[in-house]
Amino acid sequence: MLRTAKYAYLFLIALAILAIPASTPAQIAVGISVHIGPPALPVYAQPVCPGVGYIWTPGYWSYGPDGYFWVPGTWVMAPTPGLLWTPGYWGWAGGVYVWHGGYWGPHVGFYGGINYGFGYGGVGFVGGEWRGGAFHYNTAVTNVNTTVIHNTYVNKTVINNNTTVNNVSYNGGTGGVNAQPTAAERAAENEHHTPATSMQTQHEQAARSDKSMLASANHGKPAVAATAKPGVFHGAGVVAARSAGSTTNHPTNAANAHSNGSQADRPPSARTNNAASAQAKTSSNKPNTSNSSHSTTSAASTPKSNNKPSGSSKPPKASHPPAPKEHGSSGKPGGHGR
């Protein structure tokens, strides 16, 4: 009897010890930490929105056993009407780069000041808004076929062509984006959040299992930089990254910008670009030819680009000068891609 009680006691102690490491990582593992920063964001066009209710989620660099791999930007359905997506971002802290995962919430929170493009200019989201339970798209910065989707509007005042742009994919550290959350973004972080949907999770897992998505394989220009639907990496709606070259391949920080090109609501310490960023360049000031590196032309089937439109694109009006030709058609990482 005593022997049985002794073994039972030892068994309970063993269970208690095993329970400690099982719960501790859940409290500590708030993100992935890496000693090497992620590559620059790729340059890519935005696939046309596949249908009503889809919301754009930017591509980003994730990290796995074989290093950084690209998770293509894609359109996804919001888990609940009224929710908006706050993209994840890499941030420098404690001598390492830490991944802060994205989430769904009633307002867009802080995402490192990273200029992902297509409405995510570093602060907030200007690619669309919820109205009476239906999502309406701002076709000034997103690629929507207005003959199919009628919940649209045009707000060009969010386009800012007077800011310095770059493809930096992380916040803080050497060469990183120098941005701190605003009061509104801090408030959004404290709201109730919904994690990434199962489709988003499967989308990342599909990218993880595809060796061509590895930065070591694609050298920052993935063949699948964006896709119309999660997990679909072949066929129609798949967009390859373009050659970044020396072009202004990142959309300007259009979020909360005004028609005069100011960023008055973003404190000096939070404005996007770190002076140390060697990739930064000044964007073109031509009106309506580039929209935060996205074309403002509303084509039904041509993807919207966060780079300058290709030479085959037609200007919105005859009075506008033709858009400059594209140099190459490969890709871009992290926007950190778009």
Q: Note the pLDDT of residue 312.
A: 40
Position 108 pLDDT exceeds 90: yes
Alpha-carbon distance of 292 to 255, in angstroms, equals 10
Position 338 pLDDT exceeds 90: no
Q: Which of 49, 8, 338 is nearest to 166 (CA)?
A: 338
In this structure, what token pair is assigned to residue 168? 């930096």
Position 183 pLDDT exceeds 80: yes
Domain locations in the chain as residue ranges:
39-305
Over range 59-76, report the average pLDDT: 97
Pair 306, 334: CB distance under 8 Å:
no
Over range 213-217, report the average pLDDT: 97
Query: Which of 160-169, 215-224, 226-235 has the least mean pLDDT?
Result: 160-169
Q: Note the pLDDT of residue 95.
A: 92
Over range 76-86, report the average pLDDT: 97
pLDDT band at residue 337 using 50, 70 and 90 as cut-offs: very low
Over range 222-235, report the average pLDDT: 96
Please give the single-letter amino acid code of residue 262: S
pLDDT digits (tens, 9 = 90+) for 255-282: 333 333 333 323 333 333 333 333 333 3
Q: Which of 248, 228, 306, 294 is nearest to 47 (CA)?
A: 228
Please give the single-letter amino acid code of residue 80: T
Q: Note the pLDDT of residue 34.
A: 87
Query: Which of 151-165, 209-223, 241-255, 316-330 has the least mean pLDDT?
Result: 316-330
What is the pairing mode between strands 89-93 and 170-171? parallel
Q: Note the pLDDT of residue 166.
A: 73
Q: Note the pLDDT of residue 161.
A: 59
Over range 232-256, report the average pLDDT: 64
What is the pairing mode between strands 84-86 and 103-105? antiparallel
Mean pLDDT of the chain: 74
Position 203 pLDDT exceeds 50: yes
| More reliable by pLDDT, 276 or 64 | 64
Over range 191-216, report the average pLDDT: 97
pLDDT digits (tens, 9 = 90+) for 127-175: 999 999 999 999 999 999 999 999 999 999 888 654 455 799 999 999 9
Question: How buried is 169 (Cβ within 10 angstroms: 0-12 exposed, 13-18 middle, 19+ buried)?
Answer: buried
Alpha-carbon distance of 276 to 266, in angstroms, equals 20
The highest-confidence range among 20-24, 237-241, 246-250, 269-273, by mean pLDDT, is 237-241
pLDDT band at residue 31 using 50, 70 and 90 as cut-offs: low
pLDDT digits (tens, 9 = 90+) for 277-310: 333 333 333 333 333 333 333 333 445 444 444 4
Position 62 pLDDT exceeds 60: yes
Q: Note the pLDDT of residue 7.
A: 47
Q: Note the pLDDT of residue 165.
A: 58
